[in-house]
Amino acid sequence: MAGTYSNLSNIPNISNLGSFDYTTDDSSDDGLHSFDDNQNNDASSSYPLSKYTGPLVDYVRNEWQINPKYASLPTANTDSSDSPRWIQILGSIVTAPRFRRYVVVYLTVLISCWAGWKFFVAPRLEEHAALLHALDPQVKEEMGGWFGANALPRFDDIVQLRKLEPSLLPEESASKSDSSSGKRLVFIGDVHGCKDELDRLLEEVSFNPDTDHLIFTGDMINKGPDSLGVVDLARKYSASCVRGNHEDKVLSLRHNMIAANTMDDEFLDDANLHRGQYTRERKLARQLSDEQAEWLDTCPVILSVGQIKGMGQVVVVHAGLVPGLDLDKQDPYSVMNMLTIDLDTHVPSRSREGMKWTKLFNKHQSLLSDSLRGTFENPESMLTTVIYGHDSKSSLSLKTYSKGIDTGCVKGGKLTALVVRDGGEQKLVQVKCQDHTKN
Amino acid sequence: MWISTSRLLAYLYGLVFAVGGLAASDADTDFTSVRSQFVKNYSGTGPSEPGEKYFQESSFHYHYDGRFANEPLSDKETPPHLSQLIRTYLSTMADLGAETWIMHGTLLAWWWNQKIFPWDNDIDVQISEPTIHFLDEYYNMTEHHFDIPGLNGGRTYLLEINPNYVFRSMDDKMNVIDARWIDTSSGLFIDITAVRPDDERRKDGDTGALMCKDGHTFDENDIFPLRNSHFEDFPVKVPFEYVKLLEEEYGSQSLTATEFDDHHFNEETLVWDSASKRKRSSRRRSAVDLPVRTTPLKYKLE
């Protein structure tokens, strides 16, 4: 930087630069100084200050104007004569380092804004609009009706709906004296026969059979190592349960095998062509005792838990509910299997392609909440919160009106309990699981 | 080529005698010989090569058997006849221990209100391959009489197996229906199709592949294990994945739209009302007149 002041060549000394030596021969040919202070420190005294009588600035000579060496300075653009002036200006702007810096900064900001819009804001706005459209009664007219208009088919061996004994519900207000004496509901996600993990989970929540009530969200059996142990534990503690798709399959097979008289002889399975390829499920169906199977058969498709503070009407199902439809009008197959829902017709599907049912359900409940707010004193009590399992791919999914607690225990994930105590206080407890799918 | 009616009749008589003689000689019956009431055979002829197609549709309506009727039933008479038709069929199969379940349009009707659609006189049921072998072996061309409450003399139904059921290929396009359950009083019938392992798809590694000769393919796990429900107030079996099957076959709107043709589904009475006729459907959920079997069954599938 100092080199740009080369025209000060004949000024030998400036008081505050006293330690530097500006020699004439040093600047004569290229205008660059030598800042070799080690060598020339002593020499500064040879130029007496008295030689200059006026202000230093008067002695400044603009050498670049006089010296022929600088007469033709090489310009940045040698082809300047060919291109118009605005290109030259543009060129000089673009080549300026500050400009480049700003370009980089602004481009980054712009791209992140665009990406944020494209991948975050716009899809959410679209989804919001799609959900609102899907719940618009006018769309129902256009589509000719929504899911649930039919007279619901009944099945002989399936209980559609059960209500939890109200005395098991936690109290409205939190018990002040001793927190351990209050009543608790312990909702447990898909166990799939992982008995050891279930034992550890109960230990973790300090399960007390006198005050706590277990509620399983279905798929207690199959896949894992000890389905029978899990059923026995649930029976021992008089737990509540709902029918999952795995209970549905195993129990349906069992009923058919009893009807066809093939319970005792597994070789008959092969003789009976096309009865579903459920070797593992058939095996389990045979292992279940009549008492165990009967107990599982009493698990309803939908368990209506009742009012819990902060959650409104609590309902337990295995997979999901169709919004805006009474519990006794919910199709049992769909309740045990749904993952997504068709936005036009509200037909639920076990496929993963499409809108998750929880999104439509939560939107429906929040719209309902808005419409109830002005008219009712306690609108919360008229809303529904669903506690469900089934969707281990999405793992834990806690939304305002839906709580998904299948965290894939049998695949080496976690086993989750949602504990609700007096006053509606909720707590999640999880234990790690061994991967039982490998062996 | 035009043949005079008299010549045709004479020809038919000849045919009947010839076939009758044959039947008498080896005590076997076939399609044309089981006419009981009509001199003339009202069966239409198959579209291309007659003789190759076993089951014939009547010349006046594709869903009547021309050997037992010369005209369709009135709109008022049809639904009660169909109800008893499916009930007697389901009752017979249940008594035999033969596995059968409803499919296609009948499954959709079950979804809506567990009653036959008032605009549809097509009933679709399926049986498994071992079952059709059993039925062919012991019950082909058997008559089954039922007492029906409020009906003098009851009704007789005929179970008839298409001998071509043994050809297990979709290429046999003339014989896609494997058996019929026929109301001999009206000519109405139920189409019975056998569901078989699909050998070609199984060769490609699709271990659960099933097919019917009518071109439909299924997966074992979509049908089995069968569920127990009710249809026309009678126990019935339905495929395990009924919602999935219906949605795949008819689209999701078939499960939700309450308008069809000129019918509207009344969500209060749970009945399909006819809009054009300006009258409530007579098919109310009222007292049930269940048929009672009088013909004993000798052989059962265990």
Q: Where are the domains of chain A?
A: 2-73, 161-432
**pLDDT given for residue B124 in this prediction:** 94
Q: Say which range, A83-87, A224-228, B65-69, has the weakest mean pLDDT.
A: A83-87
Rg (CA), chain B: 20
Q: Over 80: is that where the pLDDT of A66 sits?
A: no
Question: What's the CA gap between A123 and B111, in Å, rounded?
Answer: 36
Question: What's the CA gap between A416 and A140, in Å, rounded?
Answer: 38
- Enter the tokens of residue A203: 């230990």
Summarised one tens digit per residue, pLDDT across range A372-408 is 887 777 778 889 999 999 999 999 999 999 999 999 9
Amino acid at A309: K
**pLDDT given for residue B58 in this prediction:** 80
Backbone dihedral region for residue A325 (phi beyond 0: left; psi -120 to 50: alpha; all else: beta): beta
CB within 8 Å: B256 and A252: no
CATH number of A161-432: 3.60.21.10
CB within 8 Å: A150 and B208: no
Contact B51, B175 (CB under 8 A): no
Q: Over 80: is that where the pLDDT of A60 sits?
A: no
Q: Which residues of B touch A143 (CB under 8 A)?
A: 253, 256-257
Q: Over 50: is that where the pLDDT of A130 sits?
A: yes
pLDDT band at A240 (very low <50, low <70, confident <90, very high): very high
**pLDDT given for residue A16 in this prediction:** 46
Q: Which residues of A touch B128 (CB under 8 A)?
A: 273-274
**pLDDT given for residue A98 in this prediction:** 84
**pLDDT given for residue A173 in this prediction:** 77
CA angle (B201, B205, B209) in 5-degree steps: 45
B113 touches chain A (CB under 8 A): yes
Per-residue pLDDT of chain B in tens (302 residues, 90 and over written 9): 444 555 544 554 544 444 444 444 445 566 766 766 665 566 654 434 434 788 888 888 888 988 898 899 988 889 999 999 999 999 999 999 899 999 999 999 999 999 999 998 889 999 998 899 999 999 999 999 999 988 889 999 999 999 888 888 888 888 889 999 999 999 999 999 999 988 888 888 888 889 998 889 999 899 999 999 999 999 999 999 999 999 999 998 999 999 888 899 988 899 999 877 655 544 544 567 888 998 888 888 76
Question: What's the CA gap between B37 and B158, in Å, rounded?
Answer: 14
CB within 8 Å: B256 and A156: no
3-state helix, strand, coil in chain B (%, to 5): 30, 25, 45
pLDDT greater at residue A300 or residue B50: A300
**pLDDT given for residue B32 in this prediction:** 65
B14 touches chain A (CB under 8 A): no
Summarised one tens digit per residue, pLDDT across range A352-371 is 999 999 999 999 999 999 88
B300 touches chain A (CB under 8 A): no
| 3-class SS of residue A304 | strand
> Residue B92: inside a domain, yes or no?
yes
Summarised one tens digit per residue, pLDDT across range A419-429 is 999 888 999 99
In total, how many domains does chain B have? 1
Residue A55 gets which letter from DSSP?
-
**pLDDT given for residue A360 in this prediction:** 96
**pLDDT given for residue A358 in this prediction:** 97
CB within 8 Å: B267 and A149: yes
> Residue B43: inside a domain, yes or no?
no
**pLDDT given for residue B43 in this prediction:** 62
Q: Which residues of A touch B226 (CB under 8 A)?
A: 252, 256
Check which CATH number belongs to the domain holding B84 and give it.
3.30.460
pLDDT greater at residue A47 or residue A123: A123
First to last CA, chain B: 54
Q: Say which range, A122-136, A264-278, A292-306, B256-270, has the weakest mean pLDDT.
A: A264-278
CB within 8 Å: B258 and A252: no
Count of other CB atoms within 10 angstroms of residue B2: 4
- For residues A93-116, average pLDDT: 89
Q: Which residue of A has its CA nearest to B96?
A: A260
Q: Over 90: is that where the pLDDT of A413 sits?
A: yes
pLDDT cut 90: percent of chain A above it? 59
Residue B240 lies in domain: 74-293
Phi then psi dihedrals of residue A166, to 5 deg:
-60, -25
CB within 8 Å: B197 and A333: no
List residues in chain A touching B: CB distance below 8 A. 143-151, 153-158, 249, 252-253, 255-256, 261, 272-278, 331, 333-334, 342, 344-350
**pLDDT given for residue A8 in this prediction:** 45
> Residue B246: inside a domain, yes or no?
yes
Cβ-nearest to A334 among B243, B257, B259: B243
Contact B171, A250 (CB under 8 A): no
CB within 8 Å: A156 and B238: no
**pLDDT given for residue A433 in this prediction:** 96
Which one, of B87, B81, B45, B50, lies nearest residue B66 by Cα?
A: B45
Contact B231, A151 (CB under 8 A): no
Q: Over 80: is that where the pLDDT of A63 sits?
A: no
- For residues A428-432, average pLDDT: 96
Rg (CA), chain A: 40
> Residue B256: inside a domain, yes or no?
yes
B95 touches chain A (CB under 8 A): no
Q: Which residues of B touch A297 (CB under 8 A)?
A: none
Contact B32, B19 (CB under 8 A): yes
Q: In angstroms, what separates the C-alpha of B230 from chain A's closest C-alpha?
A: 7
> Residue B300: inside a domain, yes or no?
no
Q: Which residues of A touch B96 (CB under 8 A)?
A: none
My answer on whether omega of the bond before B225 falls inside 30° of 0, hence cis, is: yes
Question: What's the CA gap between A285 and A291, in Å, rounded?
Answer: 12
| 3-class SS of residue B274 | strand
- How far, in whole angstroms, is CA B47 from its chain's centroid? 21
Residues 6+ apart with CB under 8 A from A104: none
Contact A273, B128 (CB under 8 A): yes
- How far, in whole angstroms, is CA B143 from its chain's centroid? 15
Distances (CA, A) of A336 to A231, A235, A354, A389: 19, 21, 18, 10
- For residues A223-240, average pLDDT: 96
Which one, of A421, A422, A391, A425, lies nearest residue A405 by Cα?
A: A391
pLDDT band at A177 (very low <50, low <70, confident <90, very high): low
- Which residues are bridge partners to A306 per DSSP? A314
B257 touches chain A (CB under 8 A): yes
Q: Which residue of B has its CA nearest to A329?
A: B267
> Residue B205: inside a domain, yes or no?
yes
**pLDDT given for residue A337 in this prediction:** 97
Question: What's the CA gap between A147 and A357, in Å, rounded?
Answer: 13
pLDDT greater at residue A280 or residue B287: A280
Question: What's the CA gap between A356 and A74, in Å, rounded?
Answer: 69
Distances (CA, A) of B3 to B9, B10, B67: 10, 11, 21
CB within 8 Å: A272 and B130: yes
B228 touches chain A (CB under 8 A): yes
- A-to-B residue pairs, Cβ atoms closer than 8 angstroms: 114
Question: What's the CA gap between A346 and A360, in Å, rounded?
Answer: 9
CB within 8 Å: A261 and B302: yes
Q: Which residues of A touch B252 (CB under 8 A)?
A: 342, 344-345, 347
Q: Over 80: is that where the pLDDT of A299 sits?
A: yes
> Residue B298: inside a domain, yes or no?
no
**pLDDT given for residue A248 in this prediction:** 97
- Enter the tokens of residue A380: 């919360």
**pLDDT given for residue B299 in this prediction:** 83
Q: Which residue of A has its CA nearest to B244?
A: A349
Q: Which residues of A touch B265 (CB under 8 A)?
A: 145, 149-150
Axis crossing angle, helix A195-204 with helix A227-236, rounded to the nearest 10: 40
Distances (CA, A) of A97 to A106, B256, B280: 14, 66, 85
- Whether the predicted model's global pTM rises above the 0.80 cut: no
Q: How would you classify the pairing of strands B227-231 and B142-148? A: unpaired
Helices (H), chain B: 5-26, 78-96, 104-113, 129-139, 199-203, 220-223, 242-250
Question: Which helix (H) or strand (E) segment is A361 a member of?
Answer: helix A357-373
Q: Say which range, A110-114, A189-193, A256-260, B96-100, has the weakest mean pLDDT.
A: A256-260
Q: What is the mean pLDDT of chain A?
A: 84
Question: What's the CA gap between A118 and A126, in Å, rounded?
Answer: 11
Q: In angstroms, what separates the C-alpha of A296 from chain B's closest C-alpha?
A: 17
pLDDT cut 70: percent of chain A above it? 81
Phi then psi dihedrals of residue B49, to 5 deg:
-90, 105
